[in-house]
Structure 1
Amino acid sequence: MQCPVPTLEKSFSLRVDLSKPLELGEGRAGQRRIIPIIGGVASGPDITGEVLNLGADWQTIFADGAVHLDTRYALETHDGAVIEIVNVGARHGPADVMARLAAGEDVDPASYYMRTAARLETGDKRYAWLNHTLFVCAGIRRASAVEIDYYKVL
């Protein structure tokens, strides 16, 4: 008997608007920064709505330029449900590409890796399925926003 092979199905996309990073300096594992999340938009077959002006990305930048992403934020759906999102992952690539991203340039997303795993939670019964679904994501870093596609693991 063989285990079922998971498949992915696009659930929604987010554009997450970001404020100026707060630089904390060198921490235990690397350079630390907090990037406030100030809004955005959710669109897709499963969820539409607005990213709330609430939350942040607590990043660790390692010596090789790779970034550990650790975000917590919320969105409100078009029909009034509030959904918490915790998203953890990694962004890395060639040194010149990472430097261009850090400078706020738009860079071809195929030239770097930005993937995350997300946990969504809500008390709204209409979206209770989110509490029991795994999501994987692919992202693009922009100068003042992040674009993220959320895929349900089926």
Structure 2
Amino acid sequence: MKLERLAAFEVRLDPPLDLGASHRGRRRVINIIGGTFEGPRLSGEILPGGADWQVLHPDGMASIDTRSTLRTHDGALLQLTTSGVRHGPPEVLRRLARGAAVDPADYYFRLFCRFETGDARYLWLNGILAVASAARSADAVHYEAYAVG
């Protein structure tokens, strides 16, 4: 197995909408307002309109569940779905929640990425699985995605 770099992503976010506690945990929706991605075979913009339908669990772990639409530099439209987890020491998670700058080495934030498109130039994305290491800032998520070969 090998990893091939796909792109670096910057996903800009609205403040979280807190839906409150449910039987699964505290539900939040974090709207995606735009962003960019840049890599050797994949670059362009992240369109507004997607979101992270996140669950915060009692132990502090966040379950990540996003859907977004990407427009490549040459006009193709792609759907990107990510799922993952973010967790760490309680004091680190509190600093993240306040929007403070936190070293990504101080917490765990990993994503599984799937792409979908009908554009012939990017059909290769439909058949790959990708993984990413992520970091949260006050108003964005930054991650490097790699195709699993």
TM-score, normalising length: structure 2: 0.98
Mapped partners of 2:23, 2:117: distance in 1: 33
RMSD (CA atoms): 0.6
Mapped partners of 1:139, 1:46: distance in 2: 20
Q: How far did 1:54 drift? A: 1.5
Larger of the two Rg values belongs to structure: 1
**Is 1:120 equivalent to 2:125 in the alignment?**
no
Mapped partners of 1:37, 1:135: distance in 2: 20
| 1:9-28 Cα deviation digits (max 9, x unpaired) | 11101100001111100011
Mapped partners of 2:113, 2:37: distance in 1: 15
- What is the total number of aligned residue pairs between the two structures? 149
Fraction of identical pairs, as percent = 48
Aligned partner (choices 25, 29, 33) of residue 24 of structure 2:
29
**Is 1:105 equivalent to 2:107 in the alignment?**
no
Structure 1 segments of 4+ aligned residues over 4 angstroms from their partners: none
Equivalent residue runs for 1:8-23 within 5 Å: 8-23=3-18
Gapped runs of 5+ residues in structure 2? none
Aligned partner (choices 145, 150, 153) of residue 148 of structure 2:
153
Secondary structure (helix, strand or coil) at the match of 1:70 reads strand
- Match for residue 47 of structure 1? 42
Q: How far did 1:7 drift? A: 1.2
Q: Aligned partner of 2:125: which letter?
A: L
Q: Aligned partner of 1:13: which letter?
A: A
Gapped runs of 5+ residues in structure 1? 1-5
TM-score, normalising length: structure 1: 0.95
